[in-house]
Amino acid sequence: MQTEIIKVAGIKDQADAEIIQQSLRALPGVAEVRVTSASGRATVRYQEELASSVQLRASLIQLGFEVDAAAGKSHSGCCGACGG
């Protein structure tokens, strides 16, 4: 299971956050989605055999949102403090 944190520009309110959540949850392999409109971040847990970071971002772009390609590296549940 991978966790991806994606910075999403253009989230105006909770309705936008709900649209993003529904769209990402519909993708094969996506297990959990949390979107915070205040921070403009989507946290997605997914099975890397069924989904990819590229697919997640493409889904958001199709919805009309801008995503930061450099933010939110995939990891397997670690906090990232070690740099791994």
Give 10-residue mean pLDDT values along the chain (84 residues): 93 93 96 93 95 94 87 49 45
CA dist list (Å): 71 to 50, 65, 67: 21, 15, 9
- Domains along the chain with CATH numbers: 2-67 (3.30.70.100)
Q: What is the pTM of this model?
A: 0.78
pLDDT at 68: 83
Asked if residues 6 and 42 have their Cβ atoms less than 8 Å apart, the reply is yes
Report CA dihedral (61, 83, 78, 72) to the nearest 10 degrees: -10
